[in-house]
Amino acid sequence: MVRYTGLESAIGFYEETTYAQNSGTPIEYPDFTGGMESLDASKEILSPEFLTAQGKRLGDINVLSESASGGVSLTPRWNGKAWWMFLSHLCGEYSTKTAGTGSAFIHTMQIGEAIDQAVAPETYSVGAVVDRGRTTGAVRYRGLKPTSCELSFAYNQAITMSTDFVGAGASPSSALTVTEASANPLMVSPSTASGAFLTFGGTSFECESASIKFERPRVGVKDIASTSPTAQQLDGMAMVSGSFETFARNETSSAFDAFTVAYRAQTGNSLVIFANGNDGTNATKLTITVPKAVITSNPQAHVDGSSVQKVTIDWEGYIDAGVTDYLADIALENSNDLAKGFQA
C-alpha cells in the first residue's frame, strides 16, 4: 500500500465557459500550502426509516443529486490570475483594463452594481483541479461559484485571500503537470513603497491589521427532472464588510473620538485601503474604495496593562442611493496585459 504526504501537492484553476463543463486547462497553479483547500463533493442520500425493528433496508437507499463546496486560501501575487478571477466571478463582472501611469495597466471592477445574470461571467463558473500528491490522479471540481472572498492584511506578513465556493460536483482527473510562472512577487504588508495604507473619512490611520470581505450568497436552481444543477447558482444580495485595528484616538471634554462619533451617528464615511509594491517591471498597487462605510460596533478601547491601547473598528459598506450605485471599487495596477485581468 502506497502512502502519501502533502508534499508535491498542486492545485490549478480555470474559467468554465459552460457551467460545470467538467474540462479545462488551469490558467494558474498557486503555491500549495498546508490547509490551503477544503474542497469536497457529496451526494444527497435518501435512506427512509420505516417503523420496523429489523433495521433499514439496503434496497431502499437512493443516491440522488450531487454538489460541491469548500474553500481555498491563497497568497496573491501581483500578476496572479486565480485570485482576480475569483473576485470577478463574485462581483459578477469582468474588470476593465486601461493604461496605467506608474504601472503598465489598471484593472477595475465594482461590487454591488446591478448585474445581468444572462451574460458572462454570471453564466460561467470556476473549475479547479486538486492534486493531493497522489502522483497518478487528481480530483476535478466543476461549477464552482464564489460566495465570499476575504482579503487579510497584517504587519510583516503576505496578504492572504480566503474564498468559499458552492459547486456542481467532482470527477476524477489526471495528475497535474505544474507550469511555473515567471517572476511574480507576492503582495506583502507593509508594502515596498511609501504611502498610506488606510484612510477613513479622508484621514489616514495607522493599522496593525485589517481585513475586507466581499460576499454574494448563491441560490441553487433545483429541478426534479435532474440530479445535477440545471443552471448557474443565482445571486443573492451583495455585501462588503471588514475591520481594522488601530490605536485608540484622543477624546476631549466635549467630544468623543472620530470613530465613536461616526458610530453613534451611523454616518457613512469613505474607507480606502492601499497596498503598494513592484512586480519587478512596474510599480504595482491595489486600491479598494468603499464610498460609504458604516461602523457597526462601539469602537471603545480598554486599558490592558501598560501596553499601547488599541481599538478594532468593525464596519459594513452601504450603497448611497442616487450618489454611489456600488458597495466597493477594486482597482489593481500591474503588468498583466489581459482583457479580463486574468486571461484574454
pLDDT tens digits, one per residue of 149-168: 999 999 999 999 999 999 99
Give the burial class of 3: count Cβ atoms within 10 A of its Cβ; 0-12 exposed, 13-18 middle, 19 or more buried.
exposed
Nearest to 41 by CA among 149, 137, 140, 174: 140
Where does the pLDDT of residue 111 fall: very low under 50, low under 70, confident under 90, or very high at 90 and above?
A: very high
For residue 192, is pLDDT > 60?
no
Nearest to 287 by CA among 162, 149, 157, 106: 106
Alpha-carbon span 60 to 52, nearest angstrom: 13
Alpha-carbon span 275 to 74, nearest angstrom: 17
Distances (CA, A) of 120 to 17, 19, 92, 100: 8, 10, 8, 26
Cβ burial 198-227 (10 Å sphere, 16+ → b, else e): bbbeeeebebebbbbbbbbebeeeeeeeee
The per-residue pLDDT for 193 is 54
For residue 223, is pLDDT > 80?
no
For residue 230, is pLDDT > 60?
no
For residue 52, is pLDDT > 90?
no
The mean pLDDT of 319-323, rounded to a whole number, is 91
Question: Which of 41-45, 218-222, 253-257, 259-263 has the lowest average pLDDT?
Answer: 253-257
Alpha-carbon span 76 to 31, nearest angstrom: 9
